[in-house]
Amino acid sequence: MPIPDLSILIIDENRIRASIIEDGLREAGHARVVVIHDVNEVGRTIADTSPDVVFIDLENPKRDTLEHFFSLSRAIQRPIAMFVDRSESQMIEKAVEAGVSAYVVDGLKKERVKPILDMAISRFNAFAKLTRELEQARSELEDRKIIDQAKGILMKTRGLAEADAYALLRSTAMNQNRRMADIAQSLVTAAELLGP
Amino acid sequence: MSTTHLTAGFLPLLDSVLLVLAREKGFAEAEGLDLNLVRETSWANIRDKAALGHFDIAQMLAPMPLAASLGLTPLASEMIAPVVCGLGNNAITVSADLWRSMADHGAPGNLAAGPSGAALAKVVAASRRKLRFGVVHQTSSHNYELRYWLAASGIQPDRDIEIVVLPPSLLPDALGSSGLDGYCVGEPWNSIGVATKGAHMVTTKAAIWQSSPDKVIGMRADWAQAQPERVAAIIRAIYRAGEFCADPANHAEIAQIMAKPAYLNAAPDIVGRALSGRFEIGAGAVAQVPDHFIPNASAANFPWKSHALWYYSQMVRWGEVTSSPTNAAIAAACFRPDLYRTALAPLEINVPVLDDKTDGTHDRPYQIAGTRGSLTMGPDQFFDGQVFDPSALDRYIAEQARS
């Protein structure tokens, strides 16, 4: 059951990822979600919203700043616990693997926080998967470009048909146990060096 | 010899140099370690990933294993430090504006801690706004050094000035954009502030407390206990790296290595300043600080229990932990001279026989007893003339509370 009155602060310099997490929390019925992209704004934001839970991405170098801020904060009277509870080591593992660090106001019941943290972790993982897929698509596109270029060189210098040029690249790659794109790259580099 | 894989976290700072050299110059490999270095973005990440076992070992701030063992950190776990990554390396740097005011109030411009602190006290007293200084982490040597210097200069931290935490690499920019008036950080970030933001170096760690420790190799106590051979191999690799780093003939090569994008990603001539001790301190002035960073001499890699206790005394002083015999024992237990001695015994290296020493009584080099004859130690004075005798810890803490 979502508990809509919980106030949640997300600090993420990556706007796309932040919005993915924000959307997930709103879908789960959490209306009081605030997203900031810069830790420098945190002072004012914390005073305004006094969050029960704070998420920050592990790549953010200002984690130290945030921890220090919490230790001084007048807005949050009690000390903070991180990752829900010190004893929840599996949860902590999962959060760190996903790249999320969570700060929870001490005294908050962990039954209330765990589902939120679970959601954030799965969204972080989903974002990482998206990024990987995008990267893969991009590199496939690059591969195709370089292979086309190599094919062109073979067609021109050896007088091959396109299909034969492709077959030659592929058999060379198989014989040498290398990627076709790598063979193509070597060919292009060599052509540039030897070319007119 | 079989090779064991080892993952170590580090932050881009010059004193990660022994860890980097252990890998780059093959000292780790010679000990059968395949050392994999992971650059991190914050000390909090280093601490948490070490506590969770993502890192076997890590470059850590000297007070960090204490904070973890004393339960001050979110993922409290027992941590130890069996080897120190050299002495010194920090400095305090201020903005051009603040430096002008300090110079007007008699700051000497020679990095002397006492007169610089006295000048800052006059500026603070006359200033209409609170000055803001940056340090790199709450339980950092930098925080305690800066506070020690301020307090001994008559400036009450938290009341008279503001201290904030920022990661090392962001400090010069924060100073340049007027977000900070000064900061305490390790090299190369003081030199980068001077070179790129018109900042001015005011004093150094070596001037505040001579021959004092800053970074250590930290690890979980249970991990270390389960594999003493690996721990010994790490200690020996770091020691060898320290020997290599101490030879001026190697400094140019080391500066090139550390300047690489994977490590400091900074110009070799700036990286090299901390190694040579020859600093541009601002406005074209140059200062020679021969003891700025001591990678190996003066038993620099030896984890003195008394050094752990000094950091503990400062944690008590600034209200982070309560003073008790139990807490003092926990803090002292984090530094492990026993493991250090055992690891270096096969190399026939001269190592201190005692676990503790008194700091603040030597204004020149002196001799102590080593396992293979006497050992030469550098001077160890505090700039305000105080003495830290670990056997009189309670009195030291009580006196600081009164001052």
Task: Look up the domain containing B30 and give its range.
Answer: 4-88+212-264+294-347
Q: Are residues B233 and B178 in the same domain?
A: no
Interface of B with A in 109-168 (CB under 8 A): 136-138, 164-167
- Residue B10 in any domain: the answer is yes
User: Tokens 């034969």 appear where?
Assistant: A164
- Residue B355 in any domain: the answer is no
CB of A74 less than 8 A from some CB of B: no
Total of domains in chain A: 2
Q: Are residues A16 and A100 in the same domain?
A: yes
Total of domains in chain B: 2
CB of A26 less than 8 A from some CB of B: no
Instruction: Find, among A37, A70, A61, the residue nearest to B170 by Cα.
Output: A61
- Residue B62 in any domain: the answer is yes
Answer with the one of B347, B363, B391 that is the final residue of a domain: B347
> HSE on the CB side for B50, CA within 13 Å?
36
Q: Are residues B94 and B131 in the same domain?
A: yes
CB of A73 less than 8 A from some CB of B: no
Tell me, what's the pLDDT at B68?
94
Answer with the one of A70, A91, A108 that is the final residue of a domain: A108
Helical segments of B217-291, H only? 221-226, 228-246, 251-259, 268-276
Q: CATH number of the domain that A24 lies in?
A: 3.40.50.2300
Answer with the one of B347, B362, B389 that is the final residue of a domain: B347
Instruction: Find, among B157, B142, B63, the residue nearest to B400 by Cα.
Output: B157
Q: Are residues B182 and B322 in the same domain?
A: no
Task: Look up the domain containing A170 and give its range.
Answer: 134-194
Tell me, what's the pLDDT at A36?
87
Cis peptide leading into residue B108 (ω within 30°): no
First-residue to last-residue Cα distance in chain A: 71
- Residue A128 in any domain: the answer is no
Instruction: Find, among A39, A42, A30, A21, the residue nearest to A128 by Cα.
Output: A21
- Residue B288 in any domain: the answer is no
Q: Are residues B75 and B124 in the same domain?
A: no
- Residue A123 in any domain: the answer is no
Instruction: Find, among A80, A81, A83, the residue nearest to A98 by Cα.
Output: A83
- Residue B284 in any domain: the answer is no
Tell me, what's the pLDDT at A43?
67
Q: Are residues B14 and B27 in the same domain?
A: yes
Helical segments of chain A, H only? 15-27, 42-49, 63-72, 89-98, 110-158, 162-176, 180-194
Q: Are residues B216 and B324 in the same domain?
A: yes
- Residue B257 in any domain: the answer is yes
> HSE on the CB side for B133, CA within 13 Å?
30
Q: Are residues B83 and B220 in the same domain?
A: yes
Q: Are residues A94 and A169 in the same domain?
A: no
Chunk chain B into consecutive blocks of 10 residues (it has 403) and report each block's average pLDDT, rounded to whole numbers.
Answer: 88 96 98 97 93 95 96 85 97 97 96 97 96 95 98 96 92 93 97 97 97 97 97 98 97 97 95 95 94 96 98 96 97 98 96 98 97 96 98 96 77
- Residue B239 in any domain: the answer is yes
Which segments in chain A show pLDDT lower than 70? 1-4, 43, 47, 73-88, 105-110, 196
Tell me, what's the pLDDT at B210?
97
Does ipTM come in above 0.85?
A: yes
Contact list, A62 vs chain B (CB under 8 Å): 42, 166-167, 170
Q: Are residues B83 and B216 in the same domain?
A: yes
Q: Are residues B78 and B220 in the same domain?
A: yes
Q: Are residues B196 and B225 in the same domain?
A: no
Tell me, what's the pLDDT at A2?
47
Q: CATH number of the domain that A178 lies in?
A: 1.10.10.10
**Cβ–Cβ < 8 Å for A123, A102:** no
**Disruptive mutation site among A42, A65, A80, A104 for chain B (greatest number of B CBs within 10 Å):** A65
Q: Are residues B161 and B301 in the same domain?
A: no
**Disruptive mutation site among B48, B177, B180, B185 for chain A (greatest number of A CBs within 10 Å):** B48
Q: CATH number of the domain that B177 lies in?
A: 3.40.190.10
Q: How far apart are CA B40 and CA B73, in angstroms?
A: 18
**Cβ–Cβ < 8 Å for B64, B70:** no
Exposed/middle/buried for residue B289 (C-beta within 10 Å: 0-12, 13-18, 19+): buried
Q: Are residues B157 and B302 in the same domain?
A: no
CB of B24 less than 8 A from some CB of A: no
